[in-house]
Amino acid sequence: MTSRPHESLDPDARPQRRTFTAEFKARILDEYESAPDAAARGAILRRERLYGSHLLDWRKARDAGAAAGLTDRRQSAAR
């Protein structure tokens, strides 16, 4: 009998995708935009384990539709 490598892995050990609330996104955007320099902005990204692309997407969504743009469509009531 041969054992397959994926059979021995615990399915609960798979990493979960992080989700962010609209309040968190708005708070981070405000903090990031009020940071005095690039070093402070980089420190915010590292502290929260975020990428600059997160903020670009969040800012674009915020500017397009205010707070409604910051909600996660994958977690909406419609789904």
Q: What is the pTM of this model?
A: 0.66
pLDDT at 31: 97
Report pLDDT digits (tens) over 10-25.
Answer: 767 788 889 999 999 9
> Distances in Å between the alpha carbon of 15 and those of 11, 12, 18, 42?
10, 8, 9, 25
- Does pLDDT of 29 surpass 90? yes
> Distances in Å between the alpha carbon of 32 and those of 13, 24, 51, 59?
33, 12, 12, 11
Name the residue among 6, 34, 25, 38 with its Cα closest to residue 66. 25
Report pLDDT digits (tens) over 38-75.
Answer: 999 999 999 999 999 999 999 998 888 765 656 666 66
Rounded Cα gap, residues 77 and 69, in angstroms: 15
